[in-house]
Structure 1
Amino acid sequence: MILTIRTKLFIAIFLACLLTVGGVAGVMQFNFKRSFLDYLNEQESRSLTQIETQLINLYAAKGSWDILDEEPRQWEKLLHTAVRSSLFPANGDEPDDAQPPFLPPPNTHELGGMPPPRHPLKHRMDRFTSRIVLLDSQRKLLKGNNRFGTPEDLHSLQLQGKTIGYLGLHRRQSLTEKVDVEFADRWQRIVWLVGLLALPITGILSFLVARHLGRPIQALRAGTQQLTSGNYALRMASSGRDELGQLTHDFNKLAERLQQNETSRKQWIADIAHELRTPLSVLRGEIEALQDGINQPDAQTFNSLHQEVSQLQHLVDDLYNLSMSDSGALSYHKRPLDVLALLRETLTLHSTQLHEQNLQVDTLGLGVQPVMIQGDPQRLQQLFTNLLENSLRYTDKPGQLRIVSSLQPQWLEIRFEDSPPDVPDTALPRLFERLYRVESSRNRATGGAGIGLSICHNIVTAHDGSISAHHAALGGLEIRVRLPLNT
């Protein structure tokens, strides 16, 4: 059985809420009786304060504890006052000789001769007084029961700076009064009842949250299936700024990139077919003319055939180099080299061709001082050759080419500026796309296939540099190359 992401989210959220509710209820159950017992002990400890004051006054009046033996009701009266103060703090100013409400007169006739039941407050008073202990200054028992031993917390009774005795209370170790036990049990039942009522609410909330979180995931899954089927025009509506919203944004970017790649692939195939069709058509026409006897197999015909084959071979080589560069399979053997010396060497190799094409070359900043970078000399020479051939192919004759180098703190910038024609603004960012040509001014009649600048871009990128196209001050195109220095 395969669980959907929505089901997994529901189970995870529900279990998390269930564990949280159960944990809170368990902790509250565990701590409540202890906290309630501490509360009762604290209330009883506060009752001892009034007994302390009255005991000190009683001792001061008689000068000893003998009065407790002479008048036993004094001890009961003190305890009664303390109990009433703890149970009925609002009536703490009630006269001490008032009849306590928890001491009803016995009425055996109404109960058929049976003794009356003990009042719960009387029962509490008995348990409370049974845990009170009064000791003299020598810690000998005066009042109370010593079966529990000496209380841990003894209150010193002081009269004029002299210790006259000690008053202590044995703390409760458990809930013994019926009313307290019933209250604790009732409160615990309420906690568990609230926990049980929280279960369906938790289930509903978990379902709603899981459905809310699962909806964009399901939508992305359906969109992915459409992408795999070739629907690259699909775009998903953003669901927010969280991770799911970012995932939707990334999905749209992926769909856009796939659509661009598909369009580029189709254009790439169409352009390659177009570029190969022209020289093949010329070759076929020349060969058919020879077969029909229209042309003679003389030197002019062979030169024409050779020119078309060379052009076709050059195009195939460019396509191969571009495909190798795009796939990262083009090998680079980098080493420290003087890039300006390599540029001067490339200009020397093309000096004859530049002169024949009536293209005047001006250089600035190409001195003899070496500028070292980490690069592949063969690929960098290919870069400079493609840039020179680009100017040779597309610049009107006679023309002008200016090569300027400038040294930056971490970069070397080389600019190739030529004379008209220029390219439109919209064409500048696309010049480095494969097989792209500006048909209005730089067309195939010049012999270019729109591949050289794409190879240049890949070579510069492989050297961690950048290349860009701008309008030249001479009226043509400026290609700006930046290469990192060897630091």
Structure 2
Amino acid sequence: MNGMSTGSSSSGRGGLASRLMLAQVLVLGASVVTAGVVAAIVGPPLFHEHLLEAGLAPDSPLLAHVEQAYRDASLVSLAVALVISLACAAAVTWYVTRRMQAPLGALSNAAREVSRGHFGARVGPLGAGTEFDELRQAFNLMASQLEQTEDTRRRLLSDLAHELRTPIATLTVYCEGLRDGVTTWSPETERVMTDQTERLARLAADLDDVSRAEEGRLTLELSATPVRELIWSGAQAKREAFARQGVKLDVRAAEAPDVRVQADSRRVGQVLDNLLGNALRHTPRGGAVQLFARAVTEAVEIVVADTGDGMSADQLPHVFERFYRGDTARDRDRAGSGLGLTISRAIADAHGGSLVASSPGPGRGSTFILTLPVGRIASSDGSGR
């Protein structure tokens, strides 16, 4: 492989040197031809006039000899200048190509490694000028992003296999038990098999939502919807679950800005359902979750804050990653697909907004802020504001 790489690099360098030398020869040739034509047209008449002004007779043999000497000297000077210029061009070409060989070779080798799937390849300092440094930085950034994408793909496949393993194993055990007569069909069996099949269906639907959102194929049915209605609807869907868990749901719909936003109410409801469900899983009995909204510059923020487990600084950057489970609360409740927060952020992005998370630390609760931008905030009664 080293021999192949060297040969390839050599041919590439030879091609660059040849093209650079040819370009300089063409420029020099054009310059010499131009100088020769100008000297042939302008020089002799001007020199002849000066000789006559110096006192030589027009029919003097000396005049013809001097003019011939002038023409010969001009031709020799141009020839010598051309030879020297070609020598200088060859020297410059050699120097420049030698200076470019190392950085271009490093970039070529790194690109070859990336093409073979070695995304950790990087190009070190080249010391060949600002342009090469910018090219090196752009290449390293590209390689880093490719490496992150590949890591995400591998982690996704691993997590997906892990998520599928449990329901598939459960269904397999029950099917074998039914076939062998070890298990009989009962309400309990029906419940377990229904739960597992619904889990698989939910996982498939969530994966489809994530893919559609990240590829820009998420269809939104936008309409002018009051923020208070979004908050009230999101809270109503979760009140019973909060009551069963003994967690207080503090909804401040009446205090929300009396405005409408252009949003897909079903998708925003899905986001709020995920955020409230996440807060409920993280908040122990006796805790509280707040849901409220506030107006900011050209946007509305919908806030879900809980008094639950909280998150460490190491967990925050990963909270929206697919299948991320960084705490015991999630481990206790495996009903979700692990994609809720990922889908929620994708929906927020599709609206042109954002979804961010913050936490003072473990045991001190978490806050999620959904931002929905509005070009013009209008009051619910239709009047401008």
Q: SS where residue 284 of structure 2 aligns?
A: coil
Q: Which of 371, 374, 378 is equivalent to 1:485?
A: 374
Looking at structure 1, the residues matched to 26 and 75 of structure 2 have their Cα atoms a distance apart, in angstroms, of 18
Q: Deviations over 1:23-52 (max 9, x none)?
A: 33334434447368658868987xxxxxxx
1:230 is displaced (CA, Å) by 1.8
**Residue number in structure 2 paired with 1:225:** 112
- Pairwise CA RMSD of aligned residues? 3.4
Looking at structure 2, the residues matched to 440 and 368 of structure 1 have their Cα atoms a distance apart, in angstroms, of 33
Q: Deviations over 1:104-133 (max 9, x none)?
A: xxxxxxxxxxxxxxxxxxxx53539x9xxx
1:34-433 map, 5 Å: 34=42, 125-127=55-57, 176=63, 178-179=65-66, 181-183=68-70, 185-213=72-100, 215-239=102-126, 240=128, 242-287=130-175, 297-364=185-252, 366-367=254-255, 370-433=258-321
Count of residues in Structure 1 that have an aligned counterpart in Structure 2: 363
Letter of the aligned partner of 1:195 in structure 2?
L
Contact 2:213-2:350 within 8 A present in 1 as well? no
Q: SS where residue 486 of structure 1 aligns?
A: coil
Please, which moves more after superposition, 225-234 or 333-342?
A: 333-342
1:10 aligns with 2:17: yes
Higher CA-based Rg: 1
Contact 1:232-1:256 within 8 A present in 2 as well? yes
Q: Which of 29, 32, 48 is equivalent to 2:36?
A: 29
1:462 is displaced (CA, Å) by 0.9
Q: SS where residue 57 of structure 2 aligns?
A: helix
1:233 is displaced (CA, Å) by 2.0
Do the aligned partners of residues 181 and 325 (structure 1) sit closer, same or farther apart at CA in structure 2, a change above 3 Å counting? Answer: same
1:431 is displaced (CA, Å) by 0.6
Q: SS where residue 84 of structure 2 aligns?
A: helix
Q: Deviations over 1:416-442 (max 9, x none)?
A: 111120111111011111111113443
Q: Which of 423, 448, 453 is equivalent to 2:341?
A: 453
1:370 is displaced (CA, Å) by 4.0
Q: SS where residue 381 of structure 1 aligns?
A: helix
1:407 is displaced (CA, Å) by 1.0
Looking at structure 1, the residues matched to 309 and 108 of structure 2 have their Cα atoms a distance apart, in angstroms, of 51
1:399 is displaced (CA, Å) by 2.0
Please, which moves more after superposition, 377-386 or 240-249?
A: 240-249
Q: SS where residue 356 of structure 1 aligns?
A: helix
1:216 is displaced (CA, Å) by 3.6
Looking at structure 2, the residues matched to 314 and 322 of structure 1 have their Cα atoms a distance apart, in angstroms, of 12
1:373 is displaced (CA, Å) by 2.7
Q: Which of 359, 362, 365 is equivalent to 1:471?
A: 359
Looking at structure 1, the residues matched to 55 and 159 of structure 2 have their Cα atoms a distance apart, in angstroms, of 105
Looking at structure 2, the residues matched to 292 and 9 of structure 1 have their Cα atoms a distance apart, in angstroms, of 74
Q: SS where residue 330 of structure 2 aligns?
A: coil
Q: SS where residue 271 of structure 1 aligns?
A: helix
Looking at structure 1, the residues matched to 254 and 114 of structure 2 have their Cα atoms a distance apart, in angstroms, of 52
Do the aligned partners of residues 480 and 231 (structure 1) sit closer, same or farther apart at CA in structure 2, a change above 3 Å counting? Answer: same
Higher relative contact order (CA 8 A, sep 6+): 2
Q: Which has the higher helix share?
A: 2
Do the aligned partners of residues 221 and 335 (structure 1) sit closer, same or farther apart at CA in structure 2, a change above 3 Å counting? Answer: farther
Q: TM-score, normalised by structure 2?
A: 0.80
Q: Deviations over 1:122-166 (max 9, x none)?
A: xx53539x9xxxxxxxxxxxxxxxxxxxxxxxxxxxxxxxxxxxx
1:302 is displaced (CA, Å) by 3.2
Contact 1:419-1:475 within 8 A present in 2 as well? yes
Q: SS where residue 300 of structure 2 aligns?
A: strand
| Structure 2 unaligned spans of 5+ | 1-7, 377-385
Contact 1:418-1:472 within 8 A present in 2 as well? no
1:334 is displaced (CA, Å) by 2.7
Looking at structure 1, the residues matched to 34 and 101 of structure 2 have their Cα atoms a distance apart, in angstroms, of 33
1:471 is displaced (CA, Å) by 0.8
Looking at structure 1, the residues matched to 179 and 38 of structure 2 have their Cα atoms a distance apart, in angstroms, of 108
1:206 is displaced (CA, Å) by 2.2
